[in-house]
Amino acid sequence: MQLTGFDTILFTFQDPVLLVRELQDLVSTEHTDAEFDLEHVQPDRPSIENATRDQCAAAFSTSIHAILYIYFRTELRGHLEENGYVLTPFGDGSMALHVRHRRAIAFHMTGINEVHQNDGPVPPPDPYTGWMCSPLVYEVTLVTSGNPKDHDESRRMIEALINICIQK
């Protein structure tokens, strides 16, 4: 199977229930016929087609790895199953939000480039090296059908997710 789609990975301390609820609200407001499927990566928990907001909240509060499939319109479910994360001839496609709980983790990072901060009128430093260590961090991956560099909807969803994470 050929891998498709474009992964954008964020690490956040933001509550995954808040992330999922706000992203669902945004998508549902802009796409009134949007649908959501829920998949638990743990084998003992069932997947849910047309998951409700409350079902998603419950899953993301208890699951160590859950996936929310986002279909902006009903027809995109079949398109995803047949083609993967590939844009339709109409220029749209499905997305998936993976949230994993990462515990007792340390990242050594190089080339850290601050793109947003709210520390006041302090200019961001030049890219630097550092460590991020935490007993719990959430790894959030948004898989989009379009390349965020040149696909507006994909880029906009990533920007929205970042803004939810930092509560902007």
CA distance 98 to 60: 10
71 found inside a domain: yes
In a domain, 110, yes or no: no
What are the tens digits of pLDDT across the range 82-123? 877 888 888 888 889 999 999 999 999 999 888 888 877 777
pLDDT digits (tens, 9 = 90+) for 18-33: 999 999 999 999 989 8
Indicate whether 77 belongs to any domain: yes
For the chain, how many structural domains are there in total?
A: 1
CB 22 within 8 A of CB 61: no
Residue 85: name the closest of 6, 141, 138, 13 by CA: 6
26 inside domain: yes
Answer whether residue 106 is part of any domain. Answer: no
- Helix and strand numbers (H, E) in the chain are 4, 5
pTM above 0.85, yes or no: yes
Q: Residue 30 sits in which domain range?
A: 6-101+135-166
